[in-house]
């Protein structure tokens, strides 16, 4: 293949599939990989966009066509085009998560999109998942066995000026970038803060960044704050708008919390590691693959006694400055593995695009 056509949405946000596509497109550009990005922006005429997709695929012989989930109808449209424009092209669907899994945790259903999602997972010729966790879930839940690859997400956070993270015995400062969301584990984080409040003697602080998923979960969150007596310990800070903000927040935090019930990846975890902020992460999070427990962070199983396990890890970090410092330094070493050029190079190899000689430093 001579190049790549990327098809997906473009939103005014830092994360999600749109942010991942931005990172890949920029990396392809830096690496000299021919790339045509056909993005559906908010307010774009959808019919005109679909005709643009048709014309681009029709004119892109010897290109790999890479659709990204985010709009099931667009991905389904690309699937049907793959049956028309077959010769001299290959087709890949990058999967950023399982819609059905997220809905079930919130007690919701969406029959039409769930059906389309299942159809695509079973029928699309090649799937690229953003984590091993996601691939395992698709293999288990959709009986998909062949042509399913993994390309972990990446970050450019190391391009921004950061301060090295240090733990002082003043405040144990946690951050959560999942917003007020049940699926992102906000209630588990509150339970942890309540547990630590009773068991550690240093001051505690949890700052929460991101959206509130719904008014209902926001009300539950507010009620839990009062029940746990955490009004002075936990603060909702709203959304962040720049990578510089994210880098500064993570650089000043002691630990990042990611106690998600379902998280296909969670870029914030690797962003924190790159700037020296170890993550305490559930095994339901795809980015947990980069964490080696008590070496560069901690992974926990939410089905087990995770509060006790986290407490002992925190206690050790408080009492042993060298141990905590080693966690920070080892977390930073993940940086060469999570650069966008790494992800783009892996995509090129999977799609059979002309080989790119980009090598990351060994971990």
Q: Are 128 and 350 in contact (CB under 8 A)?
A: yes
Q: What is the mean pLDDT of the chain?
A: 92
| Host domain of residue 329 | 157-337
Mean pLDDT in residue range 172-185? 95
Note whether residue 10 is domain-resident. Answer: yes
Q: Write out pLDDT tens, residues 18-39.
A: 999 999 999 999 999 999 999 9
Query: What is the end-to-end Cα distance of the chain in Å, rounded?
Result: 30
> Cα separation of 32 and 35, whole Å?
9
Whether residue 166 has pLDDT greater than 60: no
Question: Are 218 and 280 in a shared domain?
Answer: yes
Question: Are 54 and 193 in a shared domain?
Answer: no
Q: State how many domains the chain has.
A: 2
119's tokens: 């159809």
- What DSSP string runs through 135-163? HHHHHHHH---SSEEE------GGGS---
Q: Write out pLDDT tens, residues 297-331.
A: 999 999 999 999 999 999 999 999 999 999 999 99
CATH number at residue 254: 3.40.50.2000
Confirm whether pTM is higher than 0.85.
yes
Q: Write out pLDDT tens, residues 66-93.
A: 999 999 999 999 999 999 999 999 999 9
**Percent of the chain scored above 90 by pLDDT?**
86
Mean pLDDT in residue range 47-60? 96
What is residue 360's predicted lDDT score, i.e. its pLDDT?
Answer: 44
Question: Are 76 and 203 in a shared domain?
Answer: no
Note whether residue 161 is domain-resident. Answer: yes
Question: Are 234 and 263 in a shared domain?
Answer: yes
Confidence tier at 104 by pLDDT (50, 70, 90):
confident
Q: Write out pLDDT tens, residues 242-290.
A: 999 999 999 999 999 999 999 999 999 999 999 999 999 999 999 999 9
Whether residue 165 has pLDDT greater than 60: no
Whether residue 106 has pLDDT greater than 80: no
- Residue length, the chain? 363
Question: Are 162 and 300 in a shared domain?
Answer: yes
């Amino acid at each position: 293949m001579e190049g790549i056509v990327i098809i997906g949405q473009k939103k005014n946000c830092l994360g999600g599939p749109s942010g991942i596509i931005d990172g890949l497109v920029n990396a392809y550009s830096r690496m000299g990989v021919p790339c045509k990005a056909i993005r559906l922006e908010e307010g774009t005429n959808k019919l005109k966009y679909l005709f643009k997709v048709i014309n681009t695929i029709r004119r892109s012989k010897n290109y790999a066509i890479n659709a990204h989930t985010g709009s099931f109808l667009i991905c389904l449209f690309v699937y049907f085009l793959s049956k028309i424009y077959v010769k001299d092209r290959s087709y890949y669907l990058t999967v950023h998560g399982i819609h059905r899994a997220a809905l079930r945790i919130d007690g919701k259903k969406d029959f039409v999109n769930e059906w389309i999602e299942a159809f695509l997972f079973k029928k699309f010729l090649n799937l690229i998942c953003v984590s091993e966790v996601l691939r395992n879930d698709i293999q288990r839940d959709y009986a998909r066995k062949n042509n399913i690859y993994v390309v972990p997400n990446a970050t450019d956070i190391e391009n921004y000026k950061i301060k090295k993270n240090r733990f002082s015995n003043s405040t144990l400062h946690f951050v959560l970038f999942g917003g007020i969301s049940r699926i992102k584990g906000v209630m588990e984080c509150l339970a942890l803060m309540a547990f630590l409040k009773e068991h550690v003697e240093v001051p505690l602080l949890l700052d929460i960044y991101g959206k509130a998923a719904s008014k209902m979960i926001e009300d539950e969150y507010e009620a839990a704050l009062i029940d746990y007596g955490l009004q002075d310990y936990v603060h909702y800070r709203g959304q962040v708008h720049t990578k510089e903000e994210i880098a500064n927040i993570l650089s000043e935090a002691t630990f990042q919390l990611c106690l998600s019930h379902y998280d296909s990846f969670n870029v914030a975890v690797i962003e924190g590691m790159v700037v020296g902020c170890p993550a305490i992460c559930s095994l339901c999070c795809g980015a947990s693959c980069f964490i080696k427990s008590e070496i560069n962070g901690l992974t926990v199983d939410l089905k087990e006694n995770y509060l006790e396990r986290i407490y002992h890890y925190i206690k050790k970090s408080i009492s042993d400055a060298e141990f905590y410092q080693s966690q920070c330094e080892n977390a930073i070493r993940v940086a060469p593995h999570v650069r966008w050029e790494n992800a783009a190079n892996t995509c090129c190899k999977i799609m059979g695009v002309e080989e790119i000689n980009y090598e990351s430093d060994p971990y």
